[in-house]
Chains A and B, each alone.
Chain A
Amino acid sequence: MRPLPELTAESSAFWTGGERGDLMIAFCDACARAIHPPQVVCPTCLSRSVTARAVAGTGTVYTCTVNHQPWVPDMQVPFAIAVVDVDGAPGIRVTAPVTGGDPAAVRIGQRMAIRFEPADGVWLPLWHRLGHDPDGEGA
């Protein structure tokens, strides 16, 4: 079984925004810096006024890997994991598995869109290639 994230004051908005389909990123209210992983203090200006806001839920692959090893018994392999530069949140990346199509077809620079799957009170992010069927087979 894959462990789920602990919900904290910092992280709850990120892990529950998926219930509404929203990718929630923390921003400093004072200096507008995006902060990820989220914190309750801005590391630029030390403001304690930090608010999670929905961003577009799209981005560009910065890097990726295709995992072939079943690390736990119920893990279906292979699957791609993408580290994605998130639109509307400068300097922020969100890492998640990629669904739809051949995992080996995921490349740096591809445009991605997010959706979420529920898992026991949290919503885990999943990327898919923009314009491709997130549940599709083949290339």
Chain B
Amino acid sequence: MAMAKATITGTGMSDIGRNTHRPAMHHLAEATERALARAGLTLADIDGLCTYPGKADNSPGMSPLGTGEVRGALGLQTRWHCAVPDGPAQMAPIMVAAMAVMTGQARHVLCFRALTESSSQGVGRRASVAGAGKAQIGGWLSWLVPVGAMSAANWAGWMATRYFHEFGMTRDHLGMVATGQRAFALANPAAVMRKPLTLEDYHAARMISDPLGLFDCDVPIDGAAVVIVSAADAAADCRLPPLRIEAMGSALRSSESWDQRPDLTTMGAHDAAADLWARTDFKPGNADVLALYDGFSIFVPLWLEALGFCGHGEAKDFITAGNIGPGGRFPVNTGGGQLSGGRLHGFGLLHEACLQLWGEADGRQVADARTAVCGMGGGFIAGAMLLNRD
């Protein structure tokens, strides 16, 4: 017998910013209050807790809060809690929480992500660089960082080089991703980058890791976001229509590596997305809004292709045709994305998609949005999710 599908019943984001110097827990408490208010729940209703990756010092400010501290600070009495350091990363806690509520481990699971990368960078510790300040490094990072590839900008950069080489994409196309998302951010008071961005501005910015420049990279911020995952029957407790998690996909058919995947014009996203569609009768054409991981602009065309919105190598034409920006048929990252909204490791993108499905996206609302496709992660990290409002 098929189990009733899990739902998302509330989301919330703190006031995010750069160099806020606020404690991570303040951001988290604020995001929690907002998510509870949106859901029509109280803290006493929360009986589950989940996060990615758990308290970690992979890079400064990347994950200052674990489940232990959050249980304590929020006074939670949980029936189930879990942190997920491996797996499909950004989306992993949502997926694990969905499985928890479907198997009766909890009714309302608070999933959270908190970051203080901006403040950590501001006090002289370089954010966004894995292993910075350490003498030695192990695991998959040891094949990158010691050979000069210290930043994910390098890893995404060499994927972009190969993709450009095979398919004739240029920086103009990535510039359309960046400027299109900035246009969305102008209509989102919560976004951190709120000055207009032209293609000329994009090309004039400094290079980071060729062919990726400054505006191809997302923005480190301080902030937190919360997503409440609820059992199907528990959703009746809530204020808003539940968003059913129609399908999830996190298949991975290559190794834990940024340089060994046989075809680096694809990534784990392609495996996860194929698995997503294998689990549902929905098709890409059913999507009203898209939330696609944009840690770097190049991930957006790769996710578009992975999810089947266009064929392999066709994303440049799909983007040029105006599909993904304001007014497009498949608007991507309508809150500005991480490129202009700030990096909440996918949680911000998912929050925005949920606002759209609830009709709460104000000046950037996509008319009668009912179905969202979310793809989170880059390289070998990938999780895909389909959300639907009846």
Chain A residues within 8 Å of B, Cβ to Cβ: 1-6, 8, 11, 36-37, 62-69, 71-72, 75, 79, 81, 83, 91-93, 95-97, 104, 108, 122, 124-125
By a CB distance below 8 angstroms, the chain B residues around A96 are 147-148
Given A63-B159, A65-B161, A91-B262: A71 touches B132 (CB 8 Å cut-off) = yes
A-B contact pairs, 5 of them (CB 8 A): A3-B137, A4-B136, A83-B259, A91-B260, A96-B148
Contact of A108 among B133, B143, B159, B162 (CB under 8 A): B162
Tell me whether A5 and B154 are in contact (CB under 8 A). Answer: no
> How close is A43's CB to chain B, nearest CB, in angstroms?
8
Minimum Cβ distance to chain A for residue B161 (Å): 5
Sorted nearest first, the 10 A-B pairs with minimum C-beta distance are A65-B157, A63-B162, A66-B210, A6-B138, A3-B137, A5-B142, A97-B148, A3-B131, A71-B150, A65-B158
With A71-B129, A96-B148, A108-B161 as contacts: A36 and B137 at CB distance below 8 Å: no
Chain B residues with CB below 8 A from A3, complex form? 131-132, 134-137, 145-146
- B148 contacts A6, CB within 8 Å? no
Cα of A64 to Cα of B161 in the assembled complex, Å: 6
Q: A1-B133, A63-B165, A71-B132 are in contact. List 20 more A-B contacts (CB 8 A).
A: A3-B132, A4-B135, A4-B136, A37-B257, A37-B260, A67-B149, A67-B209, A68-B208, A69-B153, A71-B150, A72-B150, A75-B150, A81-B149, A81-B154, A81-B158, A95-B143, A95-B149, A104-B210, A108-B162, A108-B165
Is A93 a contact of B260 with CB atoms below 8 Å?
A: yes
User: Which residue of chain A has its CB nearest to the CB of B128?
Assistant: A71
Knowing A69-B151, A79-B148, A97-B148 touch, does A6 contact B137 (C-beta < 8 A)?
yes
Cα–Cα, bound, A69→B214 (Å): 10
B residues contacting A by CB (< 8 A) are 126, 129, 131-138, 140, 142-151, 153-154, 157-162, 165, 206-212, 257, 259-260, 262, 264
B159 contact set on A, CB distance < 8 A: 63
B166 CB, nearest partner CB in chain A, Å: 9
Contact B147 A95, beta carbon cutoff 8 Å: yes
* B142–chain A nearest beta-carbon distance, Å: 4
Taking CB atoms, residues of chain A closer than 8 Å to B211 are 65
Would you call A4 and B143 a contact (CB within 8 A)? no
Set B162, B212, B260, B264: member contacting A36, Cβ < 8 A: B260
**Which of B136, B153, B259 is the most central at the interface, judged by chain A CB atoms within 10 Å of its CB?**
B259
Question: Known contacts being A63-B158, A63-B165, is A68 close to B264, with CB within 8 Å?
Answer: no
A35 to chain B, nearest CB (A): 10
Min CB distance B149 to A, Å, is 5
**Across the interface, which residues of B come within 8 angstroms of A124, CB to CB?**
146-147
- Please give me the residue from chain A that is nearest to B165 by CB atom: A108
Contacts of B262 in A (CB 8 A): 91
CA distance A4 to B142 in the complex (A): 7
Question: For the complex, what is the distance from the CA of A122 to the CA of B212, rounded to whole Å?
Answer: 31
Distance (whole angstroms) from the CB of B47 to the closest CB of chain A: 40
Q: A5-B138, A65-B210 are in contact. Are A81 and B131 (CB under 8 A)?
A: no
